[in-house]
Chains A and B, each alone.
Chain A
Amino acid sequence: MPLSEAEKTFILHGVDENFRQDGRDREAYRPMELETGTVQHAFGSAHLRLANTDVLVAVKLEIDAPFPETPHEGKLEFFVDCSANATPDFEGRGGEDLAVELANTLASAYQSRQAFDLRKMCILKGKKCWKLYVDILILECGGNLFDATSLAIKAALHNTQIPKIKAVNIDGDNIEIEVSDSVSDCEKINIENAPVLVTLCKIGQHCIVDPSLSEEQCTVGSMVVAATKNCVSTISLLGSGSLHQDTLFQFLDFGCKIANRLNEALMETLANISVTNENVGFLK
């Protein structure tokens, strides 16, 4: 969506004055709504709506053999699908680049053991492990996809129930796994340290979070920071801009701060969601 020079100047001055187009300041997020447990067939799911951005995440579990190099770790895979519902640009293979970038960033964010412990996904060392497929469906694109996706994933993982394994019978090469019969006898995944992605955009001399579509057009350079509890698990520069080293450091600090705030708000909301899965709204 192209913008005229005058509109870009207006947005630029607005960011300088800490008063953006819709009245937010540089650190404010638009109102978000989160719903968990929406998809019946998935083990865990979440639906997040951030103003015009709509993301649906579902988690499915399968039993698989672990990689030979990491016999006591499970597997985690991200698939991103930008459906043509979101923008006509995504029709056919248009959304593939964005999907690949998003999936890659998420994969590298969750790669470290501190962020997400894959060892807990192991059932039998070297033979059987849980494989988590995290499927992300982008229903509507209104800017700021990375943040919305990461929050939705965290909520979906929180909502995921892994069936408890009662017994494992090894008979030569045959391995039989017995899963507990009752549906509610499950384990939950510990997602306290799961990272939250924050997109920071540099407009003029300052940086903002949660850009809208028109603000994204005016950025000089933008960065994605995946952070949790003051530790960074992934950073990558988006787009084709370059930053000075000091700006980079500024962004890092800013990003960590915002990520902590987002994390707190999300954990609070998740704690409030009751078993009946009502619709909860929260503001950042």
Chain B
Amino acid sequence: MPLDHKRLNGPEESVPYELFLRHKQETVEIKTLDEVTKDSDISREHPKIYLKTGTVSQAKGSAYIEIGETKIIVTVFDPKEIPNKQDYSLKGEISCEFKYAPFSCTKRRLHQQDNEEKRNSLIMKKALESAVCLHEIPNFQVAIHSLVLQNDGSALSGAIIAAGVALAEAGVPMFDIITSMTLEICRSNEIDSLRKMTGQIQVAGEKSHYGTIIISKLHANEQICQVHQTGFIPGDQLKNYITVLSKSCDSIAAIVKKCLLKEVVNHIK
């Protein structure tokens, strides 16, 4: 990572203090996949979601989302002409930026985007591209910026949900409501409570199988517009996990609809 010479950086060789902590053996139990699927009300499994639109008055559209302790702001700006583009194109473009605030994670982040953030930006862009009607905005570019204020897991899926809401509030033509969910497969039933979870749903897997899956789904058309998985999961197990995820995405869609409805009603009043 190139050093940012315009800002004051911390000392080069500094290490987070948590490495030197003695671990307390508090464990939190995690359900296995079967238990999760039997549970018909999956919405109990994932942390509470709070969604509000119109937080940033300067932007065309904006949204603020809280998933558990994770807090994210997303803003959408007006479609404007694509710079440096000469040839005619029938479709518009989306430019997406995903950023962790330097104080948001346990380990301090840099001001510039590092590889993980760039990767997350790309994932977000792909997910949103299928939701926005690009052919209605030929030669234009919609800019979406998301900032994670506090990262307590599933920041990317939170950003995607909020971006969908912000785009709707901005009036950008869209095909469908977009929702997103993260599933984390942990190695065993019990996990250290201090360890930060990265997923909204945690499931216990077999010993050698673990990973993280992020899914974005277009609600009404039942199309999965984005899948990203890391880790090591056998193929058939993967299918089960994805089924669980898409069901829970559906439950989130209700929350998104409610929020948008409230905003429209407020506007009319």
A111 within 8 A of B: yes
Q: Would you give the shortest CB distance from A2 to chain B, in whole angstroms?
A: 10
Asked if A232 and B234 make an inter-chain contact with CB atoms under 8 angstroms apart, the answer reads yes
B44 within 8 A of A: no
Chain B residues in 8 Å Cβ range of A104: 115, 118-119, 122
Chain A residues in 8 Å Cβ range of B226: 237, 242
Chain A residues in 8 Å Cβ range of B19: 68-69
Chain A residues in 8 Å Cβ range of B230: 108, 111-112, 233-234
A114 within 8 A of B: yes
Q: Would you give the shortest CB distance from B58 to chain A, in whole angstroms?
A: 29
Asked if A227 and B227 make an inter-chain contact with CB atoms under 8 angstroms apart, the answer reads no
Asked if B242 and A248 make an inter-chain contact with CB atoms under 8 angstroms apart, the answer reads yes
Question: Interface segment, A157-165, A249-257, A264-272?
Answer: A249-257
**With A and B bound together, what is the CA distance between A256 and B238 in angstroms?**
12
**With A and B bound together, what is the CA distance between A232 and B126 in angstroms?**
21
Asked if A101 and B239 make an inter-chain contact with CB atoms under 8 angstroms apart, the answer reads no
Chain B residues in 8 Å Cβ range of A236: 123, 227-229
Chain A residues in 8 Å Cβ range of B211: 112
B35 within 8 A of A: no
Contact with B along A90-113 (1 / 0, CB 8 A): 000000000011001001100111
Interface size range of chain B in the complex:
35 or more
Asked if A248 and B224 make an inter-chain contact with CB atoms under 8 angstroms apart, the answer reads yes
Asked if B246 and A245 make an inter-chain contact with CB atoms under 8 angstroms apart, the answer reads yes
A231 within 8 A of B: yes
Contact with A along B94-134 (1 / 0, CB 8 A): 00000000000000000000010011001100100110001
B2 within 8 A of A: no
Asked if A112 and B210 make an inter-chain contact with CB atoms under 8 angstroms apart, the answer reads yes
Chain B residues in 8 Å Cβ range of A244: 222-224
A-contacting residues of B (Cβ < 8 Å)?
A: 15-16, 19, 115, 118-119, 122-123, 126, 129-130, 134, 208-211, 218, 221-235, 238-239, 242-243, 246
9 smallest CB-CB distances across A and B, nearest first, come from A242-B225, A240-B129, A242-B223, A112-B232, A242-B130, A114-B232, A104-B119, A108-B230, A256-B235
* A–B pairs, 16, beta carbons within 8 Å: A68-B16, A69-B19, A108-B119, A113-B232, A231-B233, A233-B231, A233-B232, A237-B126, A237-B228, A238-B126, A239-B126, A241-B225, A242-B225, A244-B222, A249-B242, A252-B238
Q: A234-B228, A235-B229, A242-B218 are in contact. List 18 more A-B contacts (CB 8 A).
A: A100-B119, A104-B118, A108-B228, A108-B230, A114-B208, A231-B233, A231-B235, A232-B235, A233-B233, A234-B230, A235-B238, A236-B123, A236-B227, A240-B129, A240-B130, A242-B224, A245-B222, A248-B224
